[in-house]
C-alpha cells in the first residue's frame, strides 16, 4: 500500500470519527460551548474559571463541560483538516495523471476549508438550523469524495480485482439515485431534530414524545424514504449478489452490510419515535447513515471497476 | 472476518458508552449556584397591587430593570422578555418582572400601557415601580447591579431568581446565546419546583 492510499484511508476514518464527534456536540447541546470562533472565550485553550473570561463575553455563557466538548470538535477538525491537506499533496504526487483521484481529493480539501468557515458561521448565527444541516451535509460529501479516491487508488493498484465478476451493466442510475435519496433523508432527519428543538423552545417542560406528535408531516416522509431506501438497497443486493456472475467478496460483503445497516436504521428510527428521543441512539442513527453513504460509494466503485475491466 | 466484526462491535460499544458519558456530563453541567437572597422590598405593580420579596415564593422569576421611554437596549431586552413570556405561557411556575428605573414618568398607568403594548395579557409579567431611592437601593444593594445616573445608566442584565427568592444567575438581556442558556437554567429551576 503506498503512502497516498494509507493517508486516504486514514483521512476517511478520521473524517468518520469527526462526524461522530460533531454529532455528539449537537446531541450534547454544546454547539455554543464556545461563543466565539476560532478561539474559545478569546483563548486558545478554553478557560477553566470565570476570572479568565474576557469582559465582552457574558459569563452566563461559560460552561466548562460544553466548552470542551465544542472545542474538541474544533481541535479534532483541525487535525483532520491537516491530514486531508497531506492526502491532497500525496494525490498529486502519486496520481498526477489520474484525474478522478487527484480532483476528488482536491475537492475534498477545498470543501474542508468551506466546512471550517461554516463552523464559524454556525457560531455567528447562534446555531441556525439550516447551517447545522449544511455543516453535516458538507461533511458527508467530503467523506464520500475521500472514500471514492481511496477506492479508485486501490483499483489502480489492483486492476484485476473485479476481473472475474460480471454485474448487470445498467446500474449507474441506481447508485446515483440511492445516494441522492440517502442524502435527502439525512437532511430530513436533521430537520426533524431541528424542528423538535424549535417546538421544545416554544413549549418548555413538555416531554419529547408529545413534541414529536406536534411535528409536521415531514417526519412521515423521513420514514417513507427509509422504506424506499430499504427497497433500493434490497434491489441492488439482489442484482449485484444474486443476479451476477462471480460477485467479488467485497461486493457481497458491502451489499449485505448496506442492507443490514439500512434495516438497523429503521429499527433505530422507530425506537427514537416509540421509546423516547434518546441522544445516544440519535447520534448513532445519524452516524450509521453516513456509513451507508460511504458503503454505497464503495459498492459503486467496485461495480464501476468491473464494468471498466470488461469494456 | 469474525475477528473484524468483533473488533467493530467493541469499537461501537466503546464509542457509544463514551458518547453517553459525555452527554450525561453535558446535561448535568448547568450549574446554578445561590448568589444571595433578594432583600425585603415593597413595590407597586402596573395594577396598583403590592409586590414584595414574598412574591418570588414558589416561582421561578426572570427580572430586569428598564424604563418605558428608553430607546437604547430596553427594546431589545423587552423583546427578549416577550419571547420568554410567550413561550412559557403554559408553565405557571414561571413569572417575569420588569422594574422601572424612571419612576417619575413610569407610574402604574404608564407601565400598564407599556405592558399592554408588549402583549401582556395576564399576571405572569409584572411591571414594578416605586420611588427612585428605593429602586436605586434595590438595584444596587439588593441585586448588586450598576445603578449610576438613573434612568439612563441602568444595567442590561436579566436576573434569575428561584422559588426561595434567591438570586441564582445573571444574563446579558440583549444577547441571543445568553437567552438560550437562561431557558435551560429556567427549566432546571422549574424542575426543582415541580419535584
At A219 the pLDDT is 85
Q: Which chain A residue's Cα is nearest to B189?
A: A205
What residues of chain A lie within 8 A of the CB of B195, using their CB? none
CB spacing of B172 vs A60 below 8 angstroms: yes
Is residue B7 pLDDT above 90, yes or no?
A: yes
Task: Pick the residue of B13, B23, B82, B185 with the most A CBs within 10 A to test the interface with A by mutation.
Answer: B23
CB contact under 8 A, B23 and A64: no
Closest-approach residue (CA) in chain B for A23: B19
pLDDT of A210 reads 81
Asked if B181's CB is within 8 angstroms of A24's CB, the reply is no
Instruction: Write down the pTM of the prediction.
Output: 0.93
Structure ipTM: 0.91
A65–B29 CB contact, under 8 Å:
yes
What are the tens digits of pLDDT across the range B148-172?
777 777 789 999 999 999 999 999 9
The structural domains of chain B, with segments of one domain joined by +, span: 1-30, 36-194
pLDDT digits (tens, 9 = 90+) for B80-138: 999 999 999 999 999 999 999 999 999 999 999 999 999 999 999 999 999 999 999 99
Minimum distance, in Å, between the CA of residue B7 and any CA atom of chain A: 15
Is B26–A61 a contact, with Cβ atoms under 8 angstroms apart? Answer: no
Mean pLDDT confidence for B4-23:
94
* pLDDT computed for residue B1 by the predictor: 64
pLDDT of residue B188: 93
Q: Is A13 on the interface with B (CB under 8 A)?
A: no
Q: Which sequence spans correspond to the domains of chain A?
A: 1-157, 170-311
Chain B environment of A24 (Cβ under 8 Å): 19, 22-23
- Nearest CB neighbour to A60, from listed B171, B190, B191: B171
Q: Does the CB of A63 have a partner CB in chain B at under 8 Å? A: yes
Q: Do B87 and A27 touch (CB under 8 A)?
A: no
* A61 part of contact set with chain B, CB < 8 Å: yes
**Full 3-state SS string of chain A:** CCHHHHHHHHHHHHHHHHHHHHHHHHHCCCCCCCCCCCCECCECCCCCCHHHCCCCCCHHHCCHHHHHHHHHHHHHHHHHHHHHHHHHHHHHHHCCCCHHHHHHHHHHHHHHHHHHHHHHHHHHCCCCHHHHHHHHHHHHHHHHHHHHHHHHHHHHHCCCCCCCCECCCCCHHHHHHHHHHHHHHHHHHHHHHHHHHHHHHHCCCCCHHHHHHHCCCHHHHHHHHHHHHHHHHHHHHHHHHHCCECCCHHHHHHHHHHHHHHHHHHHHHHHHHHCCCCHHHHHHHHHHHHHHHHHHHHHHHHHHHHHHHCC
* CATH topology assigned to domain B36-194: Glutaredoxin (3.40.30)
pLDDT band at B175 (very low <50, low <70, confident <90, very high): very high
Mean pLDDT, chain A cut into blocks of 10 residues (311 residues total)? 96 98 96 95 94 92 96 97 98 96 98 96 93 96 98 96 94 96 96 90 84 83 96 96 95 97 96 88 97 98 95 78
Contact at CB, A60 and B182, closer than 8 angstroms: yes
Tell me, what's the pLDDT at B153? Answer: 74
Residue A280 forms contact with B (CB below 8 Å):
yes
CB contacts, 8 Å: B177 with chain A: 32, 35, 58, 61, 126
- Whether residue B179 is predicted with pLDDT greater than 80 in this model: the reply is yes
Amino acid at each position: 500500500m503506498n503512502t497516498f492510499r494509507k493517508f486516504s484511508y486514514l483521512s476517511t476514518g478520521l473524517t468518520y470519527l469527526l462526524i461522530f464527534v460533531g454529532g455528539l456536540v449537537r446531541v450534547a447541546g454544546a454547539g455554543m460551548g464556545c461563543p466565539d470562533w476560532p478561539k474559545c472565550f478569546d483563548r486558545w485553550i478554553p478557560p477553566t474559571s470565570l476570572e479568565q473570561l474576557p469582559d465582552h463575553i457574558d459569563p452566563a455563557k461559560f460552561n466548562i463541560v460544553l466548552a470542551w466538548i465544542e472545542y474538541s470538535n474544533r481541535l479534532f477538525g483541525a487535525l483532520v483538516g491537516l491530514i486531508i491537506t497531506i492526502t491532497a499533496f500525496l494525490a498529486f504526487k502519486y496520481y498526477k495523471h489520474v484525474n478522478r483521484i487527484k480532483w476528488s481529493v482536491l475537492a475534498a480539501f477545498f470543501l474542508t476549508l468551506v466546512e471550517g468557515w461554516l463552523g464559524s458561521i454556525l457560531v455567528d448565527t447562534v446555531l441556525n438550523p439550516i447551517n447545522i444541516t449544511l455543516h453535516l451535509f458538507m461533511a458527508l460529501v467530503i467523506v464520500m469524495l475521500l472514500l471514492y479516491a481511496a477506492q479508485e487508488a486501490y483499483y489502480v493498484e489492483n486492476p484485476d480485482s473485479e476481473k472475474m465478476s460480471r454485474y448487470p451493466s445498467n446500474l449507474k442510475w441506481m447508485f446515483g439515485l440511492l445516494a441522492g435519496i440517502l442524502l435527502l433523508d439525512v437532511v430530513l432527519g436533521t430537520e426533524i431534530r431541528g424542528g423538535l428543538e424549535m417546538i421544545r423552545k416554544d413549549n418548555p417542560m413538555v416531554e419529547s414524545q408529545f413534541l414529536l406528535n406536534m411535528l409536521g408531516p415531514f417526519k412521515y416522509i423521513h420514514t417513507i424514504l427509509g422504506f424506499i431506501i430499504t427497497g433500493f438497497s434490497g434491489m441492488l443486493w439482489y442484482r449485484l449478489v444474486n443476479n451476477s456472475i462471480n460477485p467479488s467478496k467485497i461486493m457481497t460483503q458491502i451489499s449485505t452490510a448496506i442492507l443490514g445497516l439500512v434495516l438497523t436504521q429503521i429499527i433505530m428510527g422507530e425506537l427514537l419515535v416509540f421509546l423516547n428521543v434518546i441522544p445516544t441512539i440519535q447520534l448513532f442513527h445519524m452516524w450509521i447513515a453516513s456509513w451507508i453513504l460511504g458503503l454505497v460509494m464503495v459498492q459503486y466503485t467496485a461495480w464501476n471497476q468491473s464494468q471498466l475491466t470488461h469494456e | 472476518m469474525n475477528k473484524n466484526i468483533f473488533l467493530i462491535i467493541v469499537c461501537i460499544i466503546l464509542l457509544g458508552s463514551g458518547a453517553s458519558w459525555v452527554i450525561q456530563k453535558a446535561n448535568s453541567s448547568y450549574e446554578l449556584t445561590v448568589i444571595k437572597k433578594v432583600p425585603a422590598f415593597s413595590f407597586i405593580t402596573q395594577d396598583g397591587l403590592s409586590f414584595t420579596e414574598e412574591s418570588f415564593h414558589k416561582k421561578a422569576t426572570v427580572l430586569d430593570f428598564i424604563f418605558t421611554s428608553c430607546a437604547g437596549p430596553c427594546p431589545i431586552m423587552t423583546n427578549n422578555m416577550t419571547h420568554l413570556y410567550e413561550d412559557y405561557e403554559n408553565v405557571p411556575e414561571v413569572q417575569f418582572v420588569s422594574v422601572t428605573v424612571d419612576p417619575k414618568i413610569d407610574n402604574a398607568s404608564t407601565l400598564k400601557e407599556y405592558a399592554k403594548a408588549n402583549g401582556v395579557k395576564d399576571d405572569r409579567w409584572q411591571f414594578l415601580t416605586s420611588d427612585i431611592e428605593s429602586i436605586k437601593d434595590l438595584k444596587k444593594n439588593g441585586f448588586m447591579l450598576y445603578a449610576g445616573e438613573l434612568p439612563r445608566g441602568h444595567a442590561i442584565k436579566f436576573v434569575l431568581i428561584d422559588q426561595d427568592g434567591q438570586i441564582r444567575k445573571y444574563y446579558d438581556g440583549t444577547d441571543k446565546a445568553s437567552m438560550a442558556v437562561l431557558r435551560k437554567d429556567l427549566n432546571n429551576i422549574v424542575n426543582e419546583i415541580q419535584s
